[in-house]
């Protein structure tokens, strides 16, 4: 998945994350779980360009992303929201042209 989820999050948070390293993936917590158990095995779904400057990329383990940039904002995935925003965008595109091919929520 490309950087599509990050703008969804940024808009939802009133641009408070603009310019910050943001990593989206798993449950959003790269460290120890809330109950004190071992870290989750989540992976990075996407990251802002600011986070990518630290070497963070999609499919990287969240724990490695944390080691590369502990000051990043880590957020969980929110696929219902991505589907909602994607549907709005695609409806807008279909109102302009009947020749839109739907390939997924981020394409």
CA 56 and chain centroid, separation: 12
Q: What integer best gives the mean pLDDT of the chain? A: 79
Question: Which residue is catalytic, options 33, 81, 101, 107?
Answer: 107
**Contact yes or no for 8/22 (Cβ under 8 A):** no
Q: What are 39's two structure tokens? A: 């870290």
The length of the chain, given as a count of residues? 107
| Residue 104: how many other CB atoms lie within 10 Å | 8
State pLDDT tens for residues 24-74: 888 777 665 555 555 567 899 889 999 999 999 999 998 899 889 989 988
Q: Binning pLDDT at 50, 70 and 90, where does residue 17 land?
A: confident
Q: Is 81 a catalytic residue?
A: no
């Amino acid at each position: 998945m490309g950087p599509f989820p990050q703008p969804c999050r940024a808009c939802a948070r009133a641009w408070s994350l603009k310019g910050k390293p943001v990593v989206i993936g798993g449950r959003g917590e790269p460290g120890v779980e809330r109950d004190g158990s071992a870290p989750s095995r989540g992976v990075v779904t996407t990251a802002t360009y600011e986070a990518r400057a630290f070497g963070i990329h999609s499919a990287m383990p969240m724990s490695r992303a944390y080691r590369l940039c502990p000051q990043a904002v880590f957020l969980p995935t929110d696929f219902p929201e991505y589907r909602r925003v994607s549907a709005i965008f695609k409806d807008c595109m279909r109102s302009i042209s009947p020749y839109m091919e739907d390939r997924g929520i981020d394409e």
